[in-house]
Structure 1
């Protein structure tokens, strides 16, 4: 296998069917072509999170489709967002040494070298419970498998077939399955009609799963309508507002999302770390508009956590392709506030 230089090369050579998911900013499909180009340093990683490309790699073999394998890997990135090849090469070397000249062993059982490869692997990571639930939901769709047994309970509740207070037996996996199959099962319209009725806990859990889905205009509008009054109420729970921004973060209706974010940044919760963190981590594409980015950085500079939060969030955002140049331009903006100027200075000197 001397001609194998990337993980894509290896999996293609073994005849695997592959699905790759981003596991960082949101759980979403990464095309095989994009991943291959990323591995070859032709493009930076499009959705870096904390200086890494966090990936869930699902693969299986046509001769044994009932057996599938999952690797959760996080590849470190350089300051331009490109893969650090030494880390990838080290993983590949370990993979080839473990599996040997034949990939046959990856088809055998859960004690195969493919599984043992993840033990004590410096690139392996364990996603949080929410990410695991969403990944499982999307993996079942990719494999053509039915949703988990928890799906139907979530569907009954979120489509209005249950009382709004009858939610305590609904698990996160069921909500993830429901959201992953929202369009497939034509439940978006029913969900839109019920959004205003849900108590905060199930609404928040729903939004944490919806952030991984490309929701339509009607559902986005329903979430926004529920959340917009929170942007002007100083007594409102900022976590509720942050949840709504999460739910809207991947919508096709970018105007609705941007309007809610701007309202939040101009309201009494503008400097709240929950709101600011969610915008950066989940709705970062809204910051590609320079005026929104300028406002965001101003609020981040005076956030309720202080300089450490500014440093951490800006360093994360600056890794995102398309945002680096815009952020640097804002750093040089002569019209920036004194507070932002001081925060930038402390970041540079930190």
Structure 2
């Protein structure tokens, strides 16, 4: 009968012997071991191995340069965009061409420009590979890789002015998110003898292919510095003897009446819609408005910077 311990030959003890006492081991086994650690901290786990590989790779990488670091690489896609980028001198490392691509004037022109430059590698790739690279965008068989832009440090712009034995003339952009405006400002700075442009690291346009095109090639000789905190960068300029002039529609002084442009100066331009942010506006030594007798409410960043830079160049001449 099941459960009858009196049956002859039935074993009633375990193979390991008597279990009268465990010496406290059973009590300790009942104690909790705390929360389960994350996968990255579990010995032998795949995520832990991946985390170690990432840390080793980061440790082996060279330290970030003082010059503000690099941006991220960019892909220019489409026949017109690729051709125009190569024509306008946008830096590029590789031109990817789809295998068995039907050629037209834009394709032939892009290939010719890349060959003439000599520093652009030509790579043939199957269409699925180009689709993967561009996340399914309509690349039309041409993809151009633009290298990361190497940003300067804000202090480098003052150093450049010192090397030229000139008073610094710098433009800082506050909240300007259109790369074309950034490129236009770079172009104006180069045209009127400025020493560079300062942009914030976040919530701002960077030196993309669009900015390069708008600069009409002047970005190759005009440094763009990136500041982790724009307000602190402006305060550092003030400590170095640079006057910080903010452009604002409600400024206290009109541009023709401003007598600071022939001195070390940093002109701060805000976005067309919101203008200067509160902290940046409070940091400025003076807020200036551009008179507009035609009745326009505002100017975009590129035009506003060009007006002030022209006035500064006229007075310094």
Give the structure-2-normalised TM-score.
0.25
- Where is the strand percentage greater, Structure 1 or Structure 2? 2
Which structure's CA Rg is the greater one?
2
- Where is the helix percentage greater, Structure 1 or Structure 2? 1
Give the structure-1-normalised TM-score.
0.23
